[in-house]
A and B are shown apart, each in its own frame.
Chain A
Amino acid sequence: MIQKTKKLLLNPWFQLVLSVLFVTTSEVFLKRGAVEAPRLPDEVNWTGVSGLALPDVWYGILFVIASFISWLYVLRFIPLTIAYPLSNVVHVLVPLASWFFLNEHISVQRWSGIALVLLGVLIVAKPVARMEENL
């Protein structure tokens, strides 16, 4: 069991999945925090620094750091021409998460853009999946 978990954690493709899930989670937390953040006087408000008073913002920051660490591990093993396009699946996951968790509205045109991103990600991922099967 421990061996299996360790093997999974050391798998760069699993870390890529973790990295995009962490980014998506962080965005939801940061958005929730930003909405609740107290409004400071305009001179200092633009920095978003008032958000630091909220737990949600700190959860968001922790997930950003976690995603960066996973991403660095990914970079060690997967070519950028594959890993970077695949990481753009966040442009699909973040709108879905905002729709599901934050009740945000998504227009038809935006859904089309999301579908296009997903298509591109699948095109990049398919030969990779075949490559992995042969390992």
Chain B
Amino acid sequence: MTPVSALLIFVALILYILGQLFLKHAMEDDLGSARFKKNFAVGLSTMTVSFFITLGLLQHFELSYLYPFQGLSVVIISLLAAAILREKLTPRLFIGAALISAGVVLVSLS
């Protein structure tokens, strides 16, 4: 893995996570408001860019190599939703998220 591909994997993951957070933030808003449109547009764009970076990465790496990074998104999204969107993250929810991430990584290693 070159530094460039490592960076691309990282960027794709971050943009996907940001996309989920922005879409969540947007959908809680008044659907007619300017703020909704802005957040929704940002969420949709970051997800789209992430999708195409991932598509490009798939040309160079096995899906099973890229999948674990996707698995990490569960834990990271839970933590960021708690930190940024002020959602309640109980220890139980965190343990559940951690098990799911571990499971996805295990699936892709086989």
Contacts and interface: CB of A to CB of B under 8 A. Distances in A.
A118 B107 CA distance: 12
Interface stretch (A33-41, A52-60, A84-92): A84-92
B9 interface: no
Contacts, number: 109
A121 B96 contact: yes
Interface residues of B, number: 36
A116 B106 contact: yes
B110 A109 contact: yes
Interface string B6-33: 0000000000000011011001100000
B107 A91 contact: yes
Nearest to A45: B59
Interface of A is mostly: helix
A102 interface: no
Interface string A64-88: 0000000011011001111011001
Contact of A113 (B20, B89, B93, B107): B107
Nearest to B75: A85
Nearest to A125: B96
A77 B20 CA distance: 14
B interface secondary structure, majority: helix
Interface residues of A, number: 34
Given A112-B106, A113-B110, A115-B103, A84 B20 contact: yes
A81 B110 contact: no
Contacts of A116: 99-100, 102-103, 106
Contact of A82 (B21, B93, B109): B93
B97 to A, nearest CB: 5
Contacts of A61: none
B88 interface: yes
A73 to B, nearest CB: 8
B27 A117 contact: no
Given A75-B24, A119-B103, 9 more contacts: A79-B88, A80-B81, A85-B93, A107-B110, A109-B109, A121-B100, A123-B96, A123-B99, A124-B92
